[in-house]
């Protein structure tokens, strides 16, 4: 194998998505008792972890996290209305009883630690049940 080909393969592998890492780290942080008192049963965070992984694989998602309050937080690749709407639609179709929180520029500019991110409230985001007309 030539050196340029080897370097290209190495760079491609190094550039692979680390989203599984953020989903896993946030779940581990919460279940490890470091995030304070859990707001949901521990088994529900395993379910949220699976949602987080699937969400992180969506086209407009750069990174994703499990939130302490049961929401999923994402860092979008494109912060446009059309891209946000498409991601929210895709998420709510897959998880009609969940809440997706797009991390704001202000939240990201604060250079938050994992501890800060998992404690962000998703209540400021409109839940999928409300969007889909399932909320009472």
101 within a domain of the structure (yes/no): yes
23 within a domain of the structure (yes/no): yes
The domain in which residue 27 lies consists of 18-131
Task: Count how many domains the chain has.
Answer: 1
Q: How far apart are CA 87 and CA 84, in angstroms?
A: 5
Q: What is the pLDDT along the chain (136 residues), one digit of tens a residue?
A: 454 433 433 333 344 444 468 999 999 999 987 656 788 888 999 999 999 999 999 999 999 999 999 999 999 999 899 999 999 999 999 999 999 999 988 888 876 788 899 999 998 898 999 988 876 5
112 within a domain of the structure (yes/no): yes
Which alpha helices (H) appear in the chain, and where do they start and end?
Answer: 3-14, 19-31, 42-56, 81-94, 105-109, 114-118, 128-131
66 within a domain of the structure (yes/no): yes
4 within a domain of the structure (yes/no): no
């Amino acid at each position: 194998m030539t050196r340029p080909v080897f370097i290209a393969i190495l760079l491609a592998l190094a550039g692979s998505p680390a989203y599984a890492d953020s989903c896993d780290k946030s779940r581990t942080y919460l279940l490890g008792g470091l995030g304070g008192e859990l707001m949901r049963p521990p088994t529900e965070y395993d379910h949220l972890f699976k949602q987080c992984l699937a969400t992180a694989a969506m086209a407009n998602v750069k990174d994703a996290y499990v939130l302490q309050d049961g929401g999923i937080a994402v860092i979008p690749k494109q912060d446009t209305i059309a891209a946000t709407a498409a991601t929210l639609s895709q998420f709510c179709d897959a998880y009609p009883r969940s809440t997706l929180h797009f991390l704001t520029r202000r939240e990201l500019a604060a250079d938050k630690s994992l501890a800060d991110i998992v404690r962000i409230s998703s209540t400021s985001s409109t839940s999928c049940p409300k969007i889909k007309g399932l909320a009472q």
